Chains A and B, each alone.
Chain A
């Protein structure tokens, strides 16, 4: 009839609750840890590259120059955010294991979920900060370039005696459509959402895998498959195509990978398309759904992981 004393029983069963403050501390520490990996000089280099690209294109017309600038900058930004998200996340867990930081943290009353969420938020905060800085630089350069190109186009029309109000109005409309608009920021937001989903996938894989290289390679593969997800779905929904084994394999692939092409609004934005609110809601909603489920699965894997 031996019973544990009330105090020892309480100590063994008392659950450690989820703490936002703890998650924030972990996220901040992760961000600092990544900052030490010389991310800032890379960011500055990228900004300089964007600035140089803004004025470096050969031009046939102002619209072409503005559009090329936007397409190139946003494309490079997309690559930067995805590469950074994958590599940084893949390095985090092995580095914490190597430095023994993981044991120090988890030996304290820190639930593993808090740890995972803190790590993920840290990476996402750094990606978001980078994107905000680059977005600001991009907007400034675009605005400057837009003003300069409009002035030069009008003066050229004037010198050719073609500066009728209609011609100037058309030029203004073209330059304004291709210049700085809110849509540019929505494109950057879409880039962030895509990077966030890829980062969550990388976190899941880094919990399963034992090697950093494996995590990086497989996440890149999933990223590539994710961009062709619509084609995979088309194949699945087509009856009479492929053998049963192929269809099952394709189905599994489609079920596991996220559809990353849903966030590919960058090209349309560079072409001057307007991004409606409903599109922003849909993209944000589906990204949140992917992240929630993948994070939950990561937690299920990580909670049982022997460290």
Chain B
């Protein structure tokens, strides 16, 4: 009996002493982005038993993958509401996985938006509205992901792509590409920021774009596209002839953004 009491005492004393240690290790691992915050169920929808398994079984990644596979099945059935719902679960379970935010946004802003835009069974006004709603949903998803991972270059790049390809907000696209580059994104994001600014509607963005593209030109990183946009900006910003680049290239007098997603 004496030993049993000793065992209970050891267990209790250890239990008290371990709490601050566990708190510190958990904090360290969360700071290193290795362990996620606890899952607060019921905040964004009912995940049911799978959610409980994820929360208390240490199987968040596994359950997220299962939900992703379910979302893929719904994608093949063209059931966009369900795709959105399942990706909501997936991003809730794995909020620090940029790929999930990216895929959720891609499904909404590209697949769902295009599906409604080209759906001839719908009235044209409704097609346009649904198209814009789903593009907006895609943008919202990326922005939500960026609130959690504001330093993720990939999400910034995807936001830049989305503004460029879908919402046609070239200033926002330029800002997003530039942010991607500043957070360690690949080199082309800087060039794309310049291209996007060049196609914006305000002179301030043109000036930003010109500064970026001129710098890249000076660093001998010019591509045919870069020369084209640079020459366009020289013309739009009325750069003196002496300061213009010597390269010959096609000159676009006005930005020619596409009017919408095109089909071959």
Verify that A and B bind, or say they do not. yes
Which positions in A face B, CB cutoff 8 Å? 57-58, 60, 63-64, 67-68, 71-72, 74-76, 78-79, 166, 169-170, 173, 194, 224-225, 227-231, 233-234, 236-237, 252, 254-256, 259-268, 270-271, 273, 275-276, 278-279, 282-283, 286, 289-290, 293, 296-297, 300-301, 303-304
Residues of A within 8 A of B58 (CB): 78, 194, 227, 260-261, 263-264, 266
Q: Which of the residues B11, B29, B57, B186 comes within 8 Å of A224, measured between beta carbons? A: B57
- Contact of B18 with A by CB under 8 A: yes
Q: In the complex, are the beta carbons of B65 and A71 less than 8 A apart?
A: yes
Extra 8 A-B pairs, beta carbons < 8 Å, given A68-B65, A75-B65, A76-B62:
A68-B68, A75-B62, A233-B26, A255-B15, A261-B58, A273-B34, A296-B10, A304-B1
Nearest residue, chain B, Cβ from A286: B25
Docked Cα-Cα span, A63 to B103, in Å, equals 11
B55 within 8 Å of A (CB atoms): yes
Q: How far is the CB of A83 from chain B (nearest CB, A)?
A: 11
Whether the Cβ atoms of A228 and B55 lie closer than 8 Å is yes
Of B92-100, B125-133, B243-251, the one touching chain A: B92-100
Q: How far is the CB of B55 from chain A (nearest CB, A)?
A: 7
Residues of B contacting A57 with CB < 8 Å? 69
Which A-chain residue is minimally distant from B24 (CB atoms)?
A282
Q: Which residues of A contact B61 (CB under 8 A)?
A: 71, 74-75, 266-267, 270-271
Interface string of B12-37 (1 = CB under 8 A from A): 10111011011101101100111110
Q: Is the CB of B56 within 8 A of A233?
A: no
0/1 per residue, B101-134, Cβ < 8 Å to A?
0010000000000000000000000000000000
Let me know if B103 and A60 touch, CB within 8 A.
Answer: yes
How far does the alpha carbon of A247 sit from the alpha carbon of B97 in the complex, in Å? 35
- Which applies to chain A's interface (DSSP): helix, strand, loop or mixed? helix
Main secondary structure of the interface of B (DSSP, over half): helix
> What is the CA–CA distance of A202 and B60 in the complex, to the nearest angstrom?
24
- Complex: A276 Cα to B31 Cα, angstroms: 12
The answer to whether A71 and B62 have CB atoms under 8 Å apart is yes
B40-76 residues at the A interface, CB under 8 angstroms: 55-62, 64-65, 68-69, 72
Which residues of the partner chain A approach B186 to less than 8 Å between Cβ atoms? 166, 169-170, 173
CA of A76 to CA of B65, assembled, Å: 12
- List, in ascending order, chain B residues with CB within 8 A of A255's CB: 11-12, 14-16, 18-19
How many Å from the CB of B141 to the closest CB on chain A? 16
A267 and B22 within 8 A (CB): no
The reply on B38 being an interface residue by CB < 8 A is yes
Q: How far is the CB of B178 from chain A (nearest CB, A)?
A: 17
Contact with A along B175-189 (1 / 0, CB 8 A): 000000000001110
Bound-complex Cα distance A264 to B36 (A) = 8
Which residue of chain B has its CB nearest to the CB of A68? B65
Q: Are A265 and B35 in contact (CB under 8 A)?
A: yes
CB distance from A116 to the nearest CB of B (A): 13
